Amino acid sequence: MIWLIDFISRTFGSGKDTTANILVTISTFLAGILISVIFNAIKKYKERKNHRKLIKLNLALLRREIFRQATGYEKLYEQLVVDFNGAFTFIQQSISTVGIFYSLEYKNCYNAFFGGLENFRFSNKKKIRAFNNLWATLEFLTVFHKSSFDDVKEFIAANKEANELRNSSLGRAHEIVERIRFTLHGEAIPENLGNYFKSIETIFENLHALPNYDNPKIINDYFVDQLLELNRDLKNIDLLKVYFEYLHPVELNSALLNSSIRYINQKNLLQSYHDYFEGLNKSFLNQYRKIGESQRILFNYWWSKPLIKLKLFIVLTYRRNKVKVLDFGLTVRKSEA
């Protein structure tokens, strides 16, 4: 330090005391800058570290929420078949971690994995792809998750309307058939009319002998189709013409045909929504896998990839094979977790 003071004094012709004061001032200033830089670097490092902890925690929660919602879609679409006898249940799973990630902000999350010396790598391609997949999943959930709840409501309303239309036609057909049965019961009637009446009674007996005889598919197969076949049989045409005022064939066939068409419409409606929610289930499971892969790469879980696949395989296998008990009554309930 003394040699530096002597050198500056000789070079600029200033006094040693003056030179010493200048050097002390400059050194103090530079030391202050250095301390400030170090302090800010430590502060930013702690911020990045805290963000990584938050992301790690919320990634685990996000995967769990996505999987539970995928399960909710699966349980729903399994009910969307025409021979399902009951009301539909749907589990609404909150995915609140999406909002948490957006609160953390993209820039802060990016710096947590790619800023600072602790994140320096010669190649970050896999890590960048994993980080991008995370945010792509967040965008996917933002678009499709809550909107699917509206889709469920739309389906319930559309199916209710289709069911009411089908029941209206069925009610009309039942009314006409009951009128025929009431009119002919206990009466002395010709043999051919008696055989026709017996055929109607047989259809009713076969229907009510079946379990769940009020099931839409069973009603259509064993009541609507059977009566239509009976009335369209060429052997019965002359009979229907002779006893037209008693058997009301035109009204009955019209009601039965409407019931059949409306049954097909309702069946197509159910199939359409079945395919839609099955697609959502597969998409959510795909996002679940992508998040697991991102988690593995971002946090260097080199050992976890086979375990994640094994766990997913075990869970999916168990869910496919277990017996599911579905509630009766129209319920849309929220998950407890």
Q: pLDDT of 253-266, one tens digit each?
A: 999 999 999 999 99
Which residue did the predictor score with more confidence, 18 or 334? 18
Rounded CA-CA distance 304/315 in Å is: 16
Q: What is the largest CA-CA distance in the chain?
A: 143
Q: Are 240 and 231 in contact (CB under 8 A)?
A: yes
Q: Token pair for residue 80?
A: 């969307």
Could you tell me the CA-to-CA distances from 225 to 170, 208, 232, 249, 261 in Å, in that order? 12, 15, 10, 14, 11
Q: Are 291 and 137 in contact (CB under 8 A)?
A: yes
- DSSP letters, 149-190, are HHHHHHHHHHHHHHHHHHHHHHHHHHHHHHHHHHHHTT----
pLDDT at 130 over 50: yes
Angle between the 16-79 and 97-104 helix axes, to the nearest 10 degrees?
A: 160
Query: Lowest-confidence range among 42-56, 60-74, 156-170, 312-326?
Result: 312-326
| The residue type at 293 | E
Q: Are 257 and 170 in contact (CB under 8 A)?
A: no
| pTM, full prediction | 0.75
pLDDT at 234 over 90: no
Q: What percent of the chain has pLDDT over 90?
A: 43
Q: Token pair for residue 241?
A: 């013409």
Rounded CA-CA distance 8/16 in Å is: 8
At residue 335, the pLDDT reads 43
